[in-house]
Amino acid sequence: MQRFLFTRKQTASNKTPRWINRNLLFNFIRTRQSVSRADLARLSGLQRSTVSLIVEELIADKWILEGATGRLPRGRRPTMIQLNDQRAVIALDIHPTQTTVAVADLGGKIVAQNIIAIPSGAKEALPAIISGIKKMMAAHKERSFDGIGICLPGRADLHLKKLIFAPNLNWPVLGIKSRIERATGLRVEMDNVANACALSEVWFGDSDGTHDLVAVNVSEGIGTGIFANGQLLRGDNGMAGEFGHVQIDPDGPLCGCGNNGCWETLASHRAALRYYSELAPSQSKITFDQLLRLCQAGDKKAIEALSMMAVQLGRGIRMISSALAPNEIVVVGDVTGVWHVLGPIVEAELKKNSLLAKLPHLRPAYDGNAARLRSAVALVLSESSV
């Protein structure tokens, strides 16, 4: 299946190979739809004849469709080009106790989603997920699925197709790729959720792929995805970016990795809930979503607990800033829903005693609460994911 480069660092010329021009035009259509052939020629700098040939190829391959005709003051009315919204991707966002199964179109819009509770018995977890995928596909028979993207809360060896580091996942996922492929007949691409979110920010966010960025995924744990020099930085055995397991406080809480006081024990969802339980012992049995709602309602103890989390989050982000000096750092996760409260705290910590003359641009992910699902589209369609 044809896959695409989602960075916009390449410029078109007569000497550029056809596949780069195809990537270029597909990305213009994806990011600016609807557009005309004349618009594409102007944006890309390619000759109109070249644009027409590539557009016809993309139409023949059913990546794009001709839509309505545009309006001009005079002259021939152009036919607008748009993505084929009947093509879609199945997105899986895996958490320790639940998995979200969704349908996303090529533009990253979440069409439908369903949450599957993971059974207490580890052997039942994967069959429950496969059943959820099949039900979602059956409910959207009118769509053509290009594959399944899986966001994992751990590091996967993409060549051996197995999970190699997932301290927060308490059920086995060995063979998840091959078993889902056999059960559905679809190709499966899986990666660490932070890596996937870094790709997603290049595709859907404000990043153009020419500048280095770090995606910080805040959930039950903390993961970081590093996009540098136009590609994901994976490191040996795919372990690059495990800043969540850098020890911050040797006397801190025990981490799932076996150490004490790792960054994620101080700045994750679990940390915020622990802070809240210490501040309000009688109301401690709540979920992170409930904690966010309390914060939005003005609950002082919820705001204080999340503020404590934000301080630690900012300190870890300062560590990343000093270590990698990226152009931007993007925070992903449900915490972005109260970024107006927490963002200034995180940014203040980032600025403290910084070694850098120019700090990274710190921002929440575009549509942060859906970023993990949306990133599955990037996994399935992007050449950068392989």
d(CA 149, CA 89): 7
Q: pLDDT by residue (tens digit) across 128-184?
A: 889 999 999 999 999 999 999 988 876 666 554 555 556 556 655 667 888 899 999
Structure tokens at 22: 């195809």
pLDDT in tens, 331-347: 998 999 999 999 999 99
Q: Is the peptide bond before 34 cis (omega within 30 degrees of 0)?
A: yes
Q: Which of 259, 304, 251, 256 is nearest to 277 (CA)?
A: 304
Residue type, 233: L
- Residue 239 to residue 187: CA distance in whole angstroms: 24
The CA-CA-CA angle for residues 345, 351, 354, to 5°, reads 150
Any alpha helices (H) in 69-210, and if so which ranges? 122-139, 176-184, 193-204
pTM for the whole structure: 0.80
Per-residue pLDDT of the chain (386 residues; tens, 9 = 90+): 556 665 544 444 444 466 678 877 887 888 787 888 888 898 888 888 888 999 998 898 888 888 766 565 555 667 888 888 889 999 998 887 788 999 998 888 899 999 998 776 557 788 888 999 999 999 999 999 999 998 887 666 655 455 555 655 665 566 788 889 999 999 998 888 888 888 888 777 666 667 899 999 998 889 899 998 878 888 877 778 889 999 999 999 999 888 999 999 999 999 999 999 999 988 768 999 999 999 999 999 999 999 999 999 999 999 999 999 999 999 998 999 999 999 999 999 999 977 777 899 999 987 766 888 888 888 888 754 43
